[in-house]
Structure 1
Amino acid sequence: MNGVIGQVRQHERALLVSSGLLLLFGFLYALTVSPNAAARMGYDSTFSLALRQGGFALIGALAIAGASFLPATAVRRAGVLLFLGALVLLLVVLFAGHTEKGAQRWIRMAGFSLQPSELVKPALVIAMAWMLSAGVTQRRFPGVALALGLYGVTAALLVAQPDYGQTALLGMVLAAMLLTAGAPWRIFAAGAVAAGVGGVLAYNFSEHFRRRIDLFLDPDDKGGQVTKALEAMQSGGVLGRGPGEGIVKVSLPDAHADFVYAAATEEFGWLASLGFIGLYAAIAWFGLRRASRLVDPFQQFAASGLIFLFTLQAAIHVAVNAGAAPAKGLTLPLVSYGGSAMIGSALTIGLAFALLRERPGAFLHDRTHS
């Protein structure tokens, strides 16, 4: 029993330390990128962006801490309520949202902006986990069908913005959760066909989607953000140019958000960028390893789904920055600038931690069923 407790505490330390380091580095990098980004975004103070990011990081830390103490039943209840609220906000976005860069994704009021798609992601994972777990414990309950339905409703609202990146990310997370739940292979085959057909339709009928794909496929494009991101990563070398000394990042409009990995690599080098990857890999390894040993189906599906969501988003962000995937508008969890993105990422890892953390009496139960 002591060995099991030691293993779980190891998972706790890995998640806490990795998350804390990501929050810290996100703030430190905001200090170096703030002068250029603040001027470009119209802020009065040179370090306005860094101060705002510091506030976001504090909120994120509090969200992680608060969510991590919730019992599993409260996680499910909070997730479902958040999901319903986020769906309402996604509907509001369609009719009264703020449009930027060809997408209508934000709600602006009283000087603040909110991106509901960031909040719906962890909530959808929990709602789908509830359906899948009910399908496991109740023989005739259509858990897989309902989980697919929840994803379909959310995907429709996201595509209407349009936000194909979040739609694809949540689709991959759903596939991973279905695999964990032991769904039949015909579901995956049908999903692959649907994704392919959806991609073809989006390319033919959505200028926003087509432009992203064309920029990715055009090797001669020298002005796209992905090309600039590659230049930034190449110019950084092993040790980087130094904090605040990035040159290419100045011409990278989203160096503080969607392309923060490339901009940080230019200043801190390839070794630091590998350290980033190592932190996310640690969260994936320890989180999924612990989730695989949970007995309760809801806790297992929800915890693994949240870890998949957090780390898959990081992997896609890195892939986009490295030119291995089309630009999708996905931030680097806990690092990129943005309040909505920070809260969404913090809730994701905090709720996962709540389902994975040590609880009195849980270890004897785990051991007797393993």
Structure 2
Amino acid sequence: MVSRVERGPVADWFWTIDRLFLFTFILLMGIGLMLSFAASPAVAERLGLDSFHFVKRHAAFMLPALTVMIGLSFLSPRQVRRTAMVMLATALIMMVLVLFVGVEVKGGRRWLSLLGLSIQPSEFMKPAFVVICAWLFAEHARQPEIPGNLFAILLFGMTAALLIAQPDLGQTILIGSVWSAMFFMAGMPWLWIVVLGVLGATGFFGAYVTLPHVAGRVDRFLTGEGDTFQVDTAHDAIVHGGWFGLGPGEGIVKRIIPDSHTDFIFSVAAEEFGIVFCMVLVAIFGFLVLRGLSHAYRERNDFNRLAVAGLVLLLGIQSMINIGVNLQLLPAKGMTLPLISYGGSSMTAICVTAGFILALTRRRPEKRAQERSLFRSVAGVPAE
């Protein structure tokens, strides 16, 4: 335990960081490892691998991902911006390379193979994209003559175009939703709300008309006809588990879910640990979002406010999409459950997101002064 009277980088970090945030992120990583034991052996055996192949890899990803999260949490807001700028530029270049030399999986080019590892650049693009857009919106609010909003729109258009080219409509919808929420919080004019709403609806209709795989997923969701084996099996697993589950290792339906260790790990959790456990899991994600928005509400600095809100919404909306697909509330879409699903790129990128959140929500002298000023103004106490 670090004493309050100690002085140094680690002691200052420990007493200024939001420890509830930190504990919650680590808790989710632990739950992810536990569920990997439940969900991945059947998949590994079908592929002719060692039963605990994915469990071992999941555990191996955790240490560097946790190191990244802790390391980034030491950064100042300015250093967060600079780190995000470098990360975004690198990720966008890699997303261009993916279109030419990427590994094709299930009709999509989303991964680069480097040194024997499969890296999904779009995962690392997301937290960096949110931070840079927050900075652009904040700069425009601070100095209206700076075309920050226009640059943010252009950045979103370029990023969305690269995602659609892969194609990855799910990630496009995810960053579009977060970007729109940030633009709204930054004071988006009503005209822009109407224009962007029309453009979004037009884009979705265009994707339905021009992209067969999008039309197929939407049609299967609406009609229930066609290849719905995976989502139907996931639904059966949830129903089979009941309120309290069958117990660890006792799941039966999970054994035939093709992507039980990634996109449909929530269904495995429901079968073995029950609906009550899944409700607790949803509550944990809800806590992260609400606590982050609470931090953002109290924040006077526009960049910190928009960045924290955007990053927690990124986690919340991604988890909502994953859980919605498992519950057959949304069309099937390959998207991981943050810090729970198997995947090195996903886990590391989510830990980057968590590290940025921890860094931006740390209590600093100027931040504490702002909070005291806000409290006095709300309470009607005269300034000192």
Q: TM-score range by the shorter chain?
A: over 0.9
Task: Find the counterpart in structure 1 of residue 23 from structure 2.
Answer: 17
Deviation at 1:42, TM superposition (A): 4.2
For the Cα contact (< 8 Å) 2:208–2:215, is it kept in 1?
A: yes
TM-aligned CA distance change 1:100 to 1:222, over 3 Å: closer
- Structure 1 counterpart of 2:162, from 148, 157, 168: 157
Q: Which string of whole-angstrom CA distances, capped at 9 and with x for unpartnered residues, describes residues 261-301 of structure 1?
A: 11211111001101110110110111110111111111111
Secondary structure at the aligned position of 1:328 is classed as coil
Q: Which moved more, 1:307-316 or 1:220-229?
A: 220-229
Q: Which moved more, 1:265-274 or 1:28-37?
A: 28-37
Deviation at 1:184, TM superposition (A): 0.6
Q: In the alignment, is residue 196 of structure 1 matched against residue 201 of structure 2?
A: yes
For the Cα contact (< 8 Å) 1:27–1:53, is it kept in 2?
A: yes
Which amino acid counterpart does residue 158 of structure 1 have in structure 2?
L
Q: In the alignment, is residue 26 of structure 1 matched against residue 32 of structure 2?
A: yes
**Runs of 4+ off more than 6 Å:** none
Deviation at 1:222, TM superposition (A): 6.8
Deviation at 1:59, TM superposition (A): 2.1
Q: 1:1-370 to 2 correspondence within 5 Å?
A: 12-43=18-49, 45-221=50-226, 223-368=228-373
Q: Distance in 1 between matches of 2:180 and 2:326?
A: 24
Which amino acid counterpart does residue 15 of structure 1 have in structure 2?
F
Q: Distance in 1 between matches of 2:372 and 2:184?
A: 24
Deviation at 1:80, TM superposition (A): 0.8
For the Cα contact (< 8 Å) 2:72–2:359, is it kept in 1?
A: yes
Q: Distance in 2 between matches of 1:102 and 1:211?
A: 13
Q: Distance in 1 between matches of 2:277 and 2:307?
A: 31
Task: Find the counterpart in structure 1 of residue 381 from structure 2.
Answer: none
Q: Distance in 2 between matches of 1:12 and 1:256?
A: 30
Q: Distance in 1 between matches of 2:183 and 2:349?
A: 22
Residue segments in structure 1 that go unaligned for 5+ positions in a row: 1-8
Secondary structure at the aligned position of 1:107 is classed as strand
Q: Distance in 2 between matches of 1:244 and 1:146?
A: 51
For the Cα contact (< 8 Å) 1:173–1:305, is it kept in 2?
A: yes
Q: Distance in 2 between matches of 1:312 and 1:81?
A: 25
Secondary structure at the aligned position of 1:29 is classed as helix
Task: Find the counterpart in structure 2 of residue 4 from structure 1.
Answer: none
Which amino acid counterpart does residue 30 of structure 1 have in structure 2?
S
TM norm structure 2: 0.91
**Structure whose alpha-carbon radius of gyration is higher:** 2
Q: Distance in 2 between matches of 1:354 and 1:17?
A: 15
Residue segments in structure 2 that go unaligned for 5+ positions in a row: 1-14, 376-384
TM-aligned CA distance change 1:216 to 1:11, over 3 Å: farther
Q: Distance in 2 between matches of 1:22 and 1:191?
A: 35
Secondary structure at the aligned position of 1:113 is classed as strand
Q: Distance in 2 between matches of 1:41 and 1:184?
A: 53
- RMSD of aligned residue pairs (Cα, Å): 1.7
Q: Distance in 2 between matches of 1:141 and 1:110?
A: 42
Secondary structure at the aligned position of 1:99 is classed as strand
Q: Which string of whole-angstrom CA distances, capped at 9 and with x for unpartnered residues, describes residues 234-271 of structure 1?
A: 11101111112211111211111111111211111001
Q: Distance in 1 between matches of 2:247 and 2:75?
A: 41
Q: Distance in 2 between matches of 1:135 and 1:282?
A: 31
Which amino acid counterpart does residue 173 of structure 1 have in structure 2?
V
Q: Distance in 1 between matches of 2:142 and 2:158?
A: 24
Secondary structure at the aligned position of 2:282 is classed as helix
Deviation at 1:110, TM superposition (A): 3.0
Q: Distance in 2 between matches of 1:222 and 1:97?
A: 27
For the Cα contact (< 8 Å) 1:215–1:224, is it kept in 2?
A: no
Q: Distance in 1 between matches of 2:304 and 2:102?
A: 35
Q: Distance in 1 between matches of 2:333 and 2:149?
A: 27
Equivalences, count: 362
Secondary structure at the aligned position of 2:111 is classed as strand
**Sequence identity (%):** 39
Q: Which moved more, 1:241-250 or 1:120-129?
A: 241-250
Which amino acid counterpart does residue 140 of structure 2 have in structure 1?
G
For the Cα contact (< 8 Å) 1:317–1:331, is it kept in 2?
A: yes
Q: Distance in 2 between matches of 1:211 and 1:315?
A: 22
Q: Distance in 2 between matches of 1:138 and 1:237?
A: 55
TM-aligned CA distance change 1:122 to 1:41, over 3 Å: farther
Q: Distance in 1 between matches of 2:255 and 2:37?
A: 14
